[in-house]
Chains A and B, each alone.
Chain A
Amino acid sequence: MKVLVTGAGGFLGVHVVERLLAHGYTDIRCFLRDRTKAERLVELSRLNPGAQLELCSGNLRSKADCARAVADVSLVFHLVAGMKGAAAELFADSVIVSRNLVEALEQREGIPIQSTRIVLVSSFGVYGVVPLGRGARINETTPLEAHPELRDTYSHSKLRQEQLLWEYQRKDGFELIVLRPGVIYGPGGSAFSNRVGLQIGSAFFHLGGNNLLPLSYVANCAEAIVVAGGHPDAAGQVYNVHDDELPTAAEYLSEYKRQVKSVRSIRLPYFATRMLAGCLETYHRRSLGQLPAILTRYKVAAAWGGNDFDNAKLHSLGWRPLVTTQEAMAKTFEYLQGQNPQ
């Protein structure tokens, strides 16, 4: 079985390839945009002489590159997504590339798309958590965001990407599995998710407080993706991906300060953040956007309202974290400490 991994050179992609090899997959096409990010993949190829690791570079915005990417594959791990930039770029890199990829699968000669399985890596950002209120438990039955235009454009583009793939799945009848990771972290990743707080100038505003942080250590997340991708019962299902024994945002920040470096943080309680967001929102509206509405009450409620999380469905597939949260945080902080020597 030939497997395609899009975004294989990225933070998560390399780990997915590694876990695929560990699970016995031997014919893997690694599609990446930037060939300079292939170093680890080349090393993996060298370490696994029995496996065929094909490096394929291109841009999935190009239909021709999509056709090259999907040739002869029957299992697709679709990791590519726009992470930052203008809204147009995010939609192009998440939604348009997904459409191009599925259409390339549709257009293959001699291989019906129904025989293909697509594993999409989506995001927690697609959930409509605001109407649920603070502390609500998030699982796979939680409704999707009804007002994506009120959220950050990353979440909006990920929601549209996921909706688009379900639309094609209903039309084409291929097997689709969607994984929604929480905060993916680990060596090579960034120190703080917005769920912990925001860096503004030299100050770090700690907004997450005692909210649970839905951490997903990058190797554990990759393991979940590969386990779901190979499980016969996973077709048509959605899985939330986060680790067990989740810390709170305050605990994470405290450990970071202890293990990596001191950070001048200002803790804003939720009600104060909401009030500040309300003021910014009003000013943004009255001044016709003179200052950007980086904080709105809706965004604050979505990011820092605080939820409980449930990964029981993922566990039911047989997934187990490879690394405990305590070990994962230690490894991450060790890496970050190396990046920021005191």
Chain B
Amino acid sequence: MGLKIAIVGCGKIADAHVEEIRKIPSVQLSAVCDLEPIMAEQLATRYSVPRWYSDVATLLATEKPDVLHITTPPQSHLPLTRQAVAAGCHVFLEKPVALRHSDTELIVEAAVAGGRKLAVNYWPNFEAPALELRRLYEAGVLGSAVHIESFYGYDLAGEYGMALKRDPDHWVHRLPGKLFQNVLDHILNKIVPFLGNDEPFIQAIAYCGGEQGTEAGGGQVLDELRVILRGTSTSAYATFSSHARPVGHSLRFYGTKNTATVDFAARTVTLDRKATFPSAVGRLIPPFLSAKDYLRQGLKNVNSFSHARFHYFDGMRRLLTEFYLSIEQDSAVPIAYSEILRVSAMMDAIFQQVYPEVRA
């Protein structure tokens, strides 16, 4: 029998965890848990999960899972990780990892000290386009990183935004980085592997964007964020926008040889190549090369779709598969702990600038 999995935290994102776990034939989801029994019950009923609990200690003692997925709000991640590790579980954490960097350090320490493995749901980095970028980089096609632009858009008119606006007690309003804290991992974790510096220079600004701004949680919220980062030899821009349309999710990698653009929404990777022909001819060629890139990517996507590998959370399935495999084979985890720690340290630095009053 494969690994036995359990989930604690039965909010919206838990649906995605259940669906991706069920796609991995070698593991079994045995139970779900939420402090709120109604939430645990609804998730178990909708997905025919064998058992549900409203107390994590009972879940751990009764089910004895190999892996605990923690999909609760981040303020509970540290105590739950400690509890899970003490019960002998490996831990798969939903982002954001914790409220602050010091807690992330304690989470990693708890896993390492307990001899258990830990992964964070950085699923976009395991999407096919992200893996393709990594392949191009490692094959030397791009050269060294000069500059990275990581963009993440959010539509606050959607379900998540509506939940934020309606509920002044929504857990996101209580995060030190508020709205940004829930998405910044996905922006920074694409930059960190290329930045080459543990303590980069960081300059962040945030403001209320759009004509009306965003009213949520009983007041205006900062919903636009711009960050400049400078490592030893690489710089980066990180952008979060609630108002830019269409809602995008992209990465642009400026290399010393070529520049690559990753569109996570359209699932494409295109290359801006150095001109190989002189003068006007050199300017004629690039659009055709880009068209060829898009055609190739489009066909690749059609192929993925026809083989049922084009799910929204395909990256999460791939990440989970690698994480479970690392447990079964006692091999390296799919995300280095150093990357998780660097992302959380950078988030702390950004929130200190954006919400100095909260940090004070």
Q: Which residues of A contact B (CB under 8 A)?
A: 33-34, 59, 61-62, 84-89, 91-92, 95-96, 99, 148-149, 153, 156-157, 160, 164, 286-290
Contacts and interface: CB of A to CB of B under 8 A. Distances in A.
Interface in B82-124: none
Nearest to B168: A59
B14 to A, nearest CB: 7
A88 B42 contact: yes
Given A86-B12, A289-B23, 18 more contacts: A59-B167, A85-B159, A85-B162, A86-B15, A87-B15, A88-B10, A88-B12, A88-B14, A88-B15, A89-B163, A91-B38, A96-B39, A156-B42, A157-B42, A160-B38, A160-B41, A288-B23, A288-B311
B293 to A, nearest CB: 24
Interface in B14-47: 14-15, 19, 22-23, 36, 38-39, 41-43, 45-47
Contacts of B43: 87-88
Interface string B131-169: 000000000000000000000000000010011001111
A87 B19 CA distance: 14
Contacts of A86: 12, 15, 159
A216 B25 CA distance: 48
Interface residues of B, number: 29
29 contacts: A33-B166, A34-B166, A59-B166, A59-B169, A84-B159, A85-B159, A85-B162, A85-B163, A86-B12, A88-B15, A89-B163, A91-B39, A96-B36, A96-B38, A149-B47, A149-B48, A156-B42, A156-B45, A156-B46, A157-B42, A160-B41, A160-B42, A164-B38, A288-B22, A288-B308, A288-B311, A289-B19, A290-B305, A290-B310
B210 interface: no
A160 to B, nearest CB: 7
Nearest to A90: B42
A338 B137 CA distance: 58
Nearest to B36: A96
A91 B311 contact: no
B11 interface: yes
Nearest to A85: B159
Contact of A92 (B14, B39, B168): B39
Nearest to A286: B308
Interface string B52-82: 0000000000000000000000000000000
A157 B42 CA distance: 8
Which of the listed residues A62, A92, A153, A164 has the most CB atoms from chain B within 10 Å of its own CB? Answer: A92
In the A-B complex, list the 9 residue pairs whose CB atoms are closest, starting with the nearest. A287-B308, A86-B12, A88-B12, A91-B42, A85-B159, A88-B11, A288-B23, A95-B38, A149-B46
A278 B167 CA distance: 39
A11 to B, nearest CB: 16
Interface of chain A, main secondary structure: helix
B162 A148 contact: no
A89 B311 contact: no
Contacts of B39: 88, 91-92, 96
A286 B41 CA distance: 27
Interface of B: 10-12, 14-15, 19, 22-23, 36, 38-39, 41-43, 45-48, 159, 162-163, 166-169, 305, 308, 310-311
A227 to B, nearest CB: 31
A35 B152 CA distance: 32
Given A59-B169, A149-B46, A290 B12 contact: no
B8 to A, nearest CB: 14
Given A59-B168, A62-B169, A289-B19, A89 B159 contact: yes
A296 to B, nearest CB: 13
Contacts of A164: 38
A163 to B, nearest CB: 11
A92 B22 CA distance: 25
B324 to A, nearest CB: 17
Nearest to A62: B169
Contacts of A99: 38
B274 to A, nearest CB: 38
Contacts of A156: 42, 45-46
B45 A289 contact: no
A148 B45 contact: yes
Nearest to B310: A290
Contacts of A62: 169
B223 to A, nearest CB: 19
Contacts of A95: 38, 42
Contact of B308 (A87, A88, A149, A290): A290
Contacts of A59: 166-169
Nearest to B311: A290
A89 B15 CA distance: 12
A158 to B, nearest CB: 12
Contacts of B48: 149
A92 B41 CA distance: 12
A99 B36 CA distance: 11
Contacts of B38: 91, 95-96, 99, 160, 164
